Amino acid sequence: MSWRGFRHRSEYLFFRSVVCFLQALSPRQSVNVAKFLASFFFYVLPKKINRYHVARQNLRAAFGESLTDEQADRLIFQMWIHLMRVIIEVAQLPRKFHHMQVHDIAVLSNDAAVVNAMCSGRPVILISGHFGNWEMAVSVFGLFGFPMGVIARDFDNPYLHEWIRGFRQVTGNRLLSKKGHFDRIERILTHSGHVALLGDQDAGHRGTFVEFFGQPASTVKSVALLAMQHRAILCVGYARRLPDDFFKQQWFRFEVGCEEVIDPLAPQFDKDVDAVTQQFTAALERVIRRSPEQYFWLHRRWKTKPQPRQLQQFERRRKAS
């Protein structure tokens, strides 16, 4: 066995041991473990490692000086608790989330609009962000008979990748790699299928700059381009964690909803890729503002700065809107 193979097997053995431990936790124990891990990441790890300064810069860009240092620190700590809870929930999902319990766990919001889109005969792109429990948002569609092609990065460890693939496909969804599966994505949309992806990461200088929390943010153009090319409907989805009530519920509860249904072929967009991108980005922002502690503020969302020409185009579009 090669060193790489040994390392991959060792990593997988450790990973499965952790998963077994997390799956044995009760809901109350899960929250306590998440708070303990969050305290370690926030208070113990050096700020260069826990990316505190990145989160603080993002919050300053999003909310300005109206957010005090104490409020920002509280929000970042709550974000860490949320992230630890997401990790634990992902480990527990295969055992806790199934047809018999879906209505106890997922509180649906604006579901009629999504069902109409899914049954329209046109392809659907579910666009979301690193908010709430994004794995939960996709799992619901599979359980209700609307399987998704889930676009995500491959793991270097093949054993971990296989576990994640099985986890995502247990509810009927299919895992599509960001690299090498573009033809499969096109084929799904061509046959009026459905795909899901996250569209809130910095896209570099190849992206288009749209307004996100009042700042120009480089955003992927491929979502709007695919939607226009295949006449796909965009559904901006989310799964927002609701307050815990361990006396009434056996597990955690989420508001699984659709913030907005966007038809890129509508006359208002006039085949404008930037206008469609701005529309779904604004919808994601509205979702995040309702529970900012459930957003992944560690990603350098405003990393890429617009060139002078791009900034002029951004300002022109903002004034026009």
DSSP string, 59-106: HHHHHGGGS-HHHHHHHHHHHHHHHHHHHHHHHHHHHH-STTTHHHHE
Distance CA 284, CA 278 (A): 10
Q: What is the pLDDT of residue 176?
A: 77
Lowest mean pLDDT among 77-91, 153-167, 262-276: 153-167
Distance CA 169, CA 178 (A): 16
* For residues 296-316, average pLDDT: 90
- With H, G, I as helix, E, B as strand and everything else as coil, classify residue 295: strand
Q: What is the pLDDT of residue 280?
A: 97
The string of DSSP letters for 213-248 reads: TTEEEEE-SHHHHHHHHHTPEEEEEEEEEPPP-TTT
Distance CA 31, CA 21 (A): 14
pLDDT at 178 over 70: no
Distance CA 121, CA 101 (A): 29
69-109 pLDDT, tens digit each: 999 999 999 999 999 999 999 899 888 777 667 778 888 88
β-pairing verdict for 208-212 and 215-219:
antiparallel
Mean predicted lDDT score pLDDT of the chain: 89
Better-scored residue on pLDDT, 265 or 321: 265
In sequence order, which ranges of 97-153 are alpha helices (DSSP H)?
102-105, 111-118, 134-143
Q: What is the pLDDT of residue 5?
A: 82
Query: Contact, 251 vs 96, CB < 8 A?
Result: yes
pTM, two decimals, is 0.91
What pLDDT band is residue 272 in, cutting at 50, 70 and 90?
A: very high
Q: State percent of the chain over pLDDT 90.
A: 58
Instruction: Retrieve residue 53's tokens.
Output: 């300064």
Q: What is the pLDDT of residue 99?
A: 66
pLDDT at 57 over 80: yes
* For residues 49-68, average pLDDT: 93
Better-scored residue on pLDDT, 37 or 179: 37
Domain of 41 in residue numbering reads as: 3-320
What pLDDT band is residue 153 in, cutting at 50, 70 and 90?
A: confident
When divided into structural domains, the chain yields a total of 1
Q: What is the pLDDT of residue 181?
A: 65
187-205 pLDDT, tens digit each: 888 888 899 888 999 999 8
